[in-house]
Structure 1
Amino acid sequence: MRPMAVAVALASILPGLAQADEMLAPVTVNGPSGSFAALEEMGSVTRVDGESAREATGPGGNSPSKVIENTPSVNFQSADAYGLTEVGFHETLKIRGVGQTGPASSRNINDLPVTGNPGGSKGILDMENVAEVSLYRGAAPVDKALGFSNLPGKINLQTLAPREEAGTDYRLTVGSDAYRRVFLRQDFGRHGMASGFLSGSYAEGDKWKGEGGLERTNLTGGLRLDVGQAWQAEVYAGYNEDARHTYRFFDYATASNFANLKRDWGTDPSRVDYFDYNRQDFTDRFLFSTLSGRLAPGLRLSFKPYLLDESGHYWFSSINKTDPAKSRVIDWMIDHDIKGAVTELDWQVSHAALLKAGLWLHSQQPPGPPVTQRKYRATADGLAFDGWSVLADHERHRIVSPYASLFAAFDNVDVEAGLRYVDLRLGALTAYNNSGAAATLSDPDAARAAGGVNAMASAEARTLDAWLPFVGLNWRLDRQTSVLAHAGRTYGLDVNLFPYYYAQQASFKAKGVSFQSLWDRLELETADNLDLGIRHVREGWHAGATVFYALHQNKQSTIYDPVADARYPWNVADATRYGIELEGGVELTPALT
């Protein structure tokens, strides 16, 4: 069933409600299914159950943003009706009016930052393999919302584990513009301590305007080993291919004219705006796992490794309106990986207290920022190589993040306090000269060797850090009503300074401004968040309200520097966000919420 939330967002966010540890048997009042926020939550979080998520995502079948687009204070802009095609190269999703900073993804899987940005990894799970979609807004408990950034919050997909009984799930979808999708999942049931499943899906369709289409193939498997309280293990792995043509970008004036509704890329391959020069294709291979075991009564250790390997291309038309002769077709080559692990020790100090201590280790290969972008001229004979728009090399980014939290339950009050430290190392960036002999070589390694190091546009590794505290309180007035309060810090960093510098390096060099001098002044953006809310749940309906306030430091904005005569992003601003939000839901029938 698809949730139809009644919401008024006066600034942007939904009330959430936090999460007490499952080991402490929280008080739960059954409300309507679909989109819900239980009374025992400890942060601003809304959850959508698997069945409702599958309805909300529609025929597309794999867009988490589509699932939560109707929840309060979420603004999601998609170029198509299925939520599958981004407008640009980054996620067009805002939570509380704030977008995710790159190279982070707004979504996690099983609370792990498996996916990245840019690239095609954001849709690697079919929604039929998801048990629940959670949306955290603002600050979250310290073991949640992990990632290169969590500034606005985080979406989490909880994988649908292998079932105890054998069974087959299938779904066939057809739609307008020749869209069709088929999904099949086979659960093999439990045999001894093992259970597993294998699923596959295929989708294709045309764009709703202009030429081109999309094609996606996915294969995912899961294995669960369970010997009771002693230890359990879950392992998931998959392969995803995603290829699609993108839609034409509009500026404000063009978008404001409804006569341009059906305007898109052209059909002449001799022109730079040809539709087939605007596409993306990615291949992703992924694996994530949870291993947990009991070390002693009340003491458990878990280990959650994850891995993503991605390769592909963004092709796009770079149109120069001032001088059309300078317009080029760009091939943004992407070949990167993400790897990491979360290790956590949970100690049930007493029936009413749980202590957690964990360590998150993370490493990812850029982009972002972009390091290899070839450019082409459009000719009567097709594309002709015309050098490099960006030619560089980048070391890996690395994060080390220990955390600890204490959850305590009293008669009518639950309290959680935690602290996480983030040590973020941005890898060294080596730029190369893209003129001369390098401009004649289409192989990136050969071009780097021929061009030589561009020292003014290069920078050494940089380490940034932040402390992220969280304090939450849940006061149950009665069995149907909770008052919530929590405060915490979130952080983010966009790494788009380099492409601005590289594109305008002549201006910077003329003024003696090196990339290193700007790089050294980068700062993490942080936001201190405060939420106050109330939630009331009855059989068949729920209602709530949340007031939120957030104070941002070092917020990034694109500035004009008269000294360098250039524009570039800079962490110079302070900003304040605040608002009030109302939400509610009612179950009209068992099939309609």
Structure 2
Amino acid sequence: MKLSPLVLSLAACAVLTADPLGIERIIVSDAADDGTSMISDSNISGSNQTFSAKSIATLSTQANMNPYSVIAYSPSVNFTPVDQAGSNEPSYHDPIRIRGKSQSGPGGVYMIDGMPISSNPGGGKQLLDMENVSSIDLLKGYLPADKNLGFSSLIGKVDMNLLSARSRAGAEVSQSFGSDDFMRTFVRLDSGKIGDVAIFGSFSHLSSDKNKGSGDLTRLNGTLGLTYTPNNAFKAKITAIRNSDDHHNYYNLSYDEAKDLGSNFTKDFATAKPTVSNDVDYYDWNKQHFLTTALLGEFEYRPTSSDTLTIKPYYKKDEGDYWFSKFDTAAAKQRVMDWRMEHDLYGATAAYDHEFSEALKAEIGYWYHKQLPPGPPSDQIKYKVVNGNLVFDGYAVLSDNDYHILQAPFAQISGTLDHFNYVAGAQLQSFKLGALESHTFGNQTGAANPDYNAAIDSTAIDPWASVDAKTFHTFIPSLYLGYAFTPSTTAYIDYSRTYGFDVNLFPTYISNRDTFKAKNVTLQQLWDKLDLELSDNIDVGVKTTIGGLTLNPSLFVSFVQNKQANIYDPSFGVNYPANVGDALGYGAEFSAYGPINEQLELLLGLSYNRYQFTQDFKSGATTTVDTDGKQLPDAPKYMAKAALSYHIGDWTLTPSARYSSSRYGDVANTQKVDAYTLVDFDLTYRMAQFMSSRNALFRLTATNLTNEKYISTINAADNFLAATGTASTYQSGAPFGLFGSINLKF
């Protein structure tokens, strides 16, 4: 086992204990004693939930880098990572579904302090260490106008609230270790307030072997934050993040392999380098490395007690490579692909709030967002295998893509009147898809140089596969209405429209260019028919508190239009992804959370979800795929999850379990995956004055106690039909794991 991170953390402890610092109470580690619940309802409406520092400390995995691992205990949230670290795999999409829906296009689910900083594909999916997060807002029902941001909002948002620089000096050091040579070191230093400025800096290093096959994971993360508060009227916050993610991918099972998990649960890529030409099954040709830089700002000015002006600029740059093997039944067509990515996004929100009275608060604002593809891809290189070596074989995709630009003025009013609480808002959104200039020319590589700029300069633009920019103009309303029958019981109804866009048309056309050209169909003709996917969502529910326990039953429905499906179009005589689908989602949720008594706290989530197309689709001139009423892929109908924390003295015992019913891997529901139940156990012991620290927390965590063999993620797009030849793939989940950690606060 590597000891360098452990030595580093102990050395940091020695330095810190040499001159003890005055420290304020640190919420994340002291959460078990602060009297708060795992879930807080402050500033959250309807079925949405805020996971407090206590839930982050209790439910976050030993990796402490993925917010989805915490919100996985909410009803209707389906997130089961492929490994114990909680890494998002693969790179090209977020493996999370909320109420059956998956995120569309190059949009990301999470935000930081209300800023839509995430995107797909690429890196930066674990930008924050959870020790630097004060709480997590899960917005899966009602989505207010000032949070309905990013390239896509179809399934809702996960908003991480940063733990800013503290006003008093302090430090935190933690060290974790466990199964598969897992090792993580985290250090955070707070300067305390020095004049008008407070600064914090943190560093984390995580390494782990894969839990099956060959390969490993390494993550480095550095965060620097500054807060400037010269007076009560002005506050500025700036955060810089540098993240490196370097890991090998896990093998994707076919459906036949997934049906026999007893034999294939540990199947992975070959460890030995192949010696046969065109054999692409090798672990070191299936990996990814991304380097991500993010800058976030928040500037708040309060000229009066009733007025607030807030400006939030953000920027992210992401660059790296996603290597994957492209298997084919014909060995001559098997290739190793290098999807090279270098893109950025930036934007800002500006909002002005005025409080006329308790009954009327108004907000007006403007949002601007600009991001560069991939999404769709622009730079994918092919390599063929000759005598075990990779040989450049041209481009699978070579294009010059313009920025996507989204912008929207928004307005919102809210207030409380007698027993009523309301929020009404709207956006008028402009959504511009950037123009694409293709240089691929189908099977003709068109370039003999693996350098992207040289390849672009040396090849002509393909008029068949190039398109102009396209803009959608959309009205996006939202409304929340609550009525308090008593101080502890509120009924509510809410409505919000969410949006998204899949970018599958361009790569589909490139892969089948010869077929489209033979039919005299240009990409521009199909591009002109694209439309924005919209979902109108309604929630009805009740929240009531009995003792310390909050109960929240609710019903929900979503009416989805323009959902993309890969259909046969008789007017062109070809198959392609088109926005012609209507879908319906509906279900019921029940959550219960809070202390049962002084020693026992419960977190429970139950859900029933239906998400389905409401029509069949033509897959050929004379064939139809039966999709009407069929559950969409990787969307379990039933889920149940529960965590129970028992506090006895300085000990806390937390058993937890998550159940998922059977799922399907295709929209025709012919590929069924079995149900599973995962059981975890967490044991913590709190000690004061250990190694001169103010507080020490020792933790032992066992994951998948029963060593359940299950499918974690199904890689299946909602819009591709089995009849079109697009096969779903399946990733087996993580086996039993045992992990320990020590966390010291000074």
Q: Is residue 2:291 matched to residue 1:293?
A: no
Tell whether the 8 Å contact from 1:237 to 1:288 is kept in structure 2 after alignment: yes
**Residues 1:196 and 2:195 are matched in the alignment:** no
Per-residue deviation, residues 27-78 of structure 1 (Å, max 9, x unmatched): xxxx974542527633431111123213322112111111111211011132
Equivalent in the alignment of 2:616: none
- Does residue 61 in structure 1 map to residue 69 in structure 2? no
Of the structure 1 ranges 75-84 and 482-491, higher mean CA displacement relative to structure 2 is found in 75-84
Q: Quote the Cα distance in structure 1 between the aligned partners of 2:271 and 2:574.
A: 35
Structure 1 residues without counterparts, runs of 5 or longer: 1-30
Alpha-carbon distance, 1:124 to partner = 0.8
Alignment correspondent of 2:291: 283
**CA deviation profile, 1:281-303 (whole Å, cap 9, x unmatched):** 00011100100112345122111
Residue 476 (structure 2) pairs with residue 473 (structure 1): no
Deviates more, 1:426-435 or 1:196-205: 426-435
1:572 equivalenced with 2:575 (yes/no): no
Alignment match of 2:182 (pick from 179, 183, 205): 179
The letter for the 2-side match of 1:355 is A
Distance 1:509 1:45, change over 3 A: same
Matched, 1:266 2:273: no
Residue in structure 1 matched with residue 336 of structure 2 by the alignment: 329
For 2:545, give the aligned amino acid: V
Partner of 1:81: 84
SS of the equivalent of 1:122 reads coil
Per-residue displacement from partner, 1:374-409 (whole Å, max 9, x unpaired)?
Answer: 000122251110111101010000011110000021
Which deviations, in whole Å up to 9, do the C-alpha atoms of 1:182-209 show, x marking residues without a partner? 0000011112221110000000010000
2:417 aligned partner: 410
Question: How far apart, CA to CA, are the structure 1 residues paired with 2:511 and 2:264?
Answer: 30
Corresponding residue number in structure 2 for 1:498: 506
RMSD: 1.8
SS in 2 for 1:438: coil
Shift in CA distance, 532/62, structure 1 to aligned 2, threshold 3 Å: same
Q: AA paired with 2:493? A: A
Report the Cα distance in structure 1 between the residues aligned to 2:469 and 2:220, rounded to whole angstroms.
38
Q: Does 1:442 align with 2:476?
A: no
2:395 aligned to which of 371, 375, 388: 388
Residue by residue over 1:306-335, the C-alpha shift from the partner in whole angstroms, topping out at 9 and shown as x without a partner, is 0001100100000012x1220000000000
After the TM superposition, which residues 309-388 of structure 1 pair with which residues of structure 2 at under 5 Å, given as runs?
309-321=317-329, 323-388=330-395
Aligned amino acid, residue 261 of structure 1: F
Shift of 1:476: 1.2
Q: Report the equivalent of 1:111.
A: 114
In structure 1, distance between residues paired with 2:462 and 2:38: 53
Q: Does 1:424 align with 2:431?
A: yes
Contact 1:557–1:570, Cα closer than 8 Å, also in 2: yes
Give the C-alpha shift of residue 219 in structure 1. Answer: 0.6
Match in the other structure for 2:49: 46
SS at match of 1:368: coil
Report what 1:149 is aligned to: 152
Structure 2: how far apart are the matches of 1:39 and 1:113?
22
Partners of 1:107 and 1:154 within 8 A in 2: yes
* Residue 553 (structure 1) aligned with residue 545 (structure 2): no
How far is the alpha carbon of 1:348 from its aligned partner? 1.0
**Does the CA contact (< 8 Å) of 1:437 and 1:447 recur in 2?**
no
Please state whether the residue corresponding to 1:156 is helix, strand or coil.
strand
Cα distance, 1:542 vs. partner? 1.4
For 2:348, give the aligned amino acid.
A
| AA in 2 matched with 1:193 | D
The structural deviation recorded for 1:585 is: 2.1
Q: Distance in 1 between matches of 2:374 and 2:164?
A: 32
Distance 1:484 1:468 in 2: 20
Q: 1:42 to 1:586 in 2, by over 3 A?
A: closer
Conserved? CA contact 2:336–2:382, under 8 Å: yes
User: Number of residues paired by the alignment?
Assistant: 562
Question: Structure 1 residue 521 and structure 2 residue 529: aligned?
Answer: yes
Residue 525 of structure 1 and its aligned partner are, at CA, apart by 0.7
Taking the aligned partners of 2:91 and 2:244, their CA distance within structure 1 comes to: 19
SS at match of 1:162: coil
**How far apart in 1 are the matches of 2:375 and 2:366?**
25
Give 1 or 2 for the bigger CA radius of gyration.
Answer: 2
For 2:226, give the aligned amino acid: L
Name segments (4+ residues, structure 1) moved above 4 Å. 434-437, 561-566, 589-593
Query: Could you list the per-position Cα deviations for residues 344-371 of structure 1 after superposition, in whole angstroms to 9, with x for gaps in the alignment?
Result: 0001112332100010000001011101
Shift of 1:268: 3.2
Match status 1:304 vs 2:312: yes
Give the drift of 1:129. Answer: 0.4
* Counterparts of 2:130 and 2:565, CA distance in 1: 35
TM-superposed deviation, 1:169: 0.9
Instruction: State the SS of the aligned residue for 1:446.
Output: helix
Residue number in structure 2 paired with 1:512: 520
**1:43/1:136 contact within 8 Å kept:** no
SS in 2 for 1:556: strand
Mapped to 1, the partners of 2:101 and 2:211 lie a distance apart of 29
Instruction: Kindly indicate whether the alpha-carbon contact (under 8 Å) linking 1:88 and 1:249 is maintained by their aligned counterparts in 2.
Output: no
TM-score, normalised with respect to structure 2: 0.73
Preserved CA contact (<8 Å) 1:77 1:87:
no
Compare 575-584 and 554-563 and name the one that shifted more.
554-563
Residue equivalent to 1:463? 471
1:561 Cα deviation (Å)?
A: 4.3
CA deviations on 1:227-269 (whole Å, 9 max, x unpaired) are 3431101110011111000001112221111210111011232
> Structure 1's 140 and 98: CA in aligned 2 closer, same or farther, altered over 3 A?
same
CA pair 338-39 structure 1, distance change in 2 beyond 3 A: closer
Q: Return the letter of the residue paired with 1:93.
A: I
Whole-angstrom distance in 2 between the partners of 1:89 and 1:231? 40
Q: Measured at CA, do residues 542 and 351 of structure 1 come closer, stay the same or move farther in structure 2, by a change above 3 Å?
A: closer
Distance 1:461 1:377 in 2: 34
Whether the aligned pair in 2 keeps the contact of 1:78 and 1:87 (CA below 8 Å) is no
CA contact 1:151–1:526 (8 Å) conserved in 2: yes
Matches of 2:103 and 2:535 in 1, distance apart? 13
1:256 paired to 2:256: no
Contact 1:432 1:452 survives alignment (8 Å): yes
- Structure 2 distance, partners of 1:327, 1:73, is 38
What is the distance in 1 between the residues matched to 2:69 and 2:259?
24
Match for 2:537: what amino acid? N
SS in 1 for 2:217: strand
- For 1:34 and 1:172, how far apart are their aligned partners in 2? 26
Q: Contact 2:88–2:94 at 8 Å: present in 1 too?
A: no
Q: 1:43 & 1:430 partners in 2: Cα distance?
A: 45
Q: What is the distance in 2 between the residues matched to 1:455 and 1:566?
A: 19
What's the CA shift for 1:566?
4.8
2-side partners of 1:430 and 1:186: how far apart? 48
Residue type of the partner of 2:366? L
Q: Give the conservation status (yes or no) of the 8 Å contact 1:481–1:534.
A: yes
Query: 2:543, 2:357 → 1: CA distance?
Result: 28
